[in-house]
C-alpha cells in the first residue's frame, strides 16, 4: 500500500488495543463501517495477531490493516503473516528494518532529530512523534518541521479531538488516536458511543484536509 498517500488523504489513524479479542475485532469492523480508512491493531492487545488475521479476512485488501507496537523482527514477521500490510513502532528498533524488508511501509516512533535520521536510514515511510503530548505538543511539531520539512509526521499519544485539530493545523500529516477515539469499545464497551466518537474525529480530520 502507499502509506504516504493514505496518511495525507485520510489524516487519521485509529489505534485499537483491547483486553477482549472479540470486542477488539468488533471495534475494528465498526471503525471501518464508519469510514475510518487507517486502522492499527496494537500487538500489545489480547490475542492481537488473531484480531489482525480475522479483521483482514473480513475487510479484504480494500482496507489494509496496520499492526502496532512492532518491537522486534519477530513481531514484524508475525504481523505480516497475520495479514497486516503496514507496521507501526513505538521507537526506532529492529521492527523498523524487518518490516521494511518485508515490503511493509513503516510508521516509526521517534522523538528526537537523531531518531528521525535513524528511522529514515532504516526505511521508515513516516514518523510517529511519540509520546506527542510529552514531547511538547504542536509547538514541538512546528520546530521539527524546520529542519525536516519533507517528512511526514504523525503525532500519537494524548491526542483528543481538540489536539487533533491543533496538530493538523501545525503541519501534521495525520494524527494517531487511541483511547480518546476507541474508548472502552475494545474491552467490551459501547459500539454506539464508538461510532459517535469516530464521526467526530473524522469531521476534525476532514476540516483539516486542504
Active-site positions read: 40, 128
In the block, residue with C-alpha cell 485499537: 16
Residues 6+ apart with CB under 8 A from 17: 24, 41, 42, 44, 45, 48, 68, 69, 178, 182, 186
110 forms bridges with which residues in the sheet? 129
Cα–Cα distance, 95 to 106 (Å, whole number): 9
What are φ and ψ of residue 135, in 5° steps?
-75, -20
Do 18 and 27 meet the contact criterion of CB atoms below 8 Å apart? yes
Amino acid at each position: 500500500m502507499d502509506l504516504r498517500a493514505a496518511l495525507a488523504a485520510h489524516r487519521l489513524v485509529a489505534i485499537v488495543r483491547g483486553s477482549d479479542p472479540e470486542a477488539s475485532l468488533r471495534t475494528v469492523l465498526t471503525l471501518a463501517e464508519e469510514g475510518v480508512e487507517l486502522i492499527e491493531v496494537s500487538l500489545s492487545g489480547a490475542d492481537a495477531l488473531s484480531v489482525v488475521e480475522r479483521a483482514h479476512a473480513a475487510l479484504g485488501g480494500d482496507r489494509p490493516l496496520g499492526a502496532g507496537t512492532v518491537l522486534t523482527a519477530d513481531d514484524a514477521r508475525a504481523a505480516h503473516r497475520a495479514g497486516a500490510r503496514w507496521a507501526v513502532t513505538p521507537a526506532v528498533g529492529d521492527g523498523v528494518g524487518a518490516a521494511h524488508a518485508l515490503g511493509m511501509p513503516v510508521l516509526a516512533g521517534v522523538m528526537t532529530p537523531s531518531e528521525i535520521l535513524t528511522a529514515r536510514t532504516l526505511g521508515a515511510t513516516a514518523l510517529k512523534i511519540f509520546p506527542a503530548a510529552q514531547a511538547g505538543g504542536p509547538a514541538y511539531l512546528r520546530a521539527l518541521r524546520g529542519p525536516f520539512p519533507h517528512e511526514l509526521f504523525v503525532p500519537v499519544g494524548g491526542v483528543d479531538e481538540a489536539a487533533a485539530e491543533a496538530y493538523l493545523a501545525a503541519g501534521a500529516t495525520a494524527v494517531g488516536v487511541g483511547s480518546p477515539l476507541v474508548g472502552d469499545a475494545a474491552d467490551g464497551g459501547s459500539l454506539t458511543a464508538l461510532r459517535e466518537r469516530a464521526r467526530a474525529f473524522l469531521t476534525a480530520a476532514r476540516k483539516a484536509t486542504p
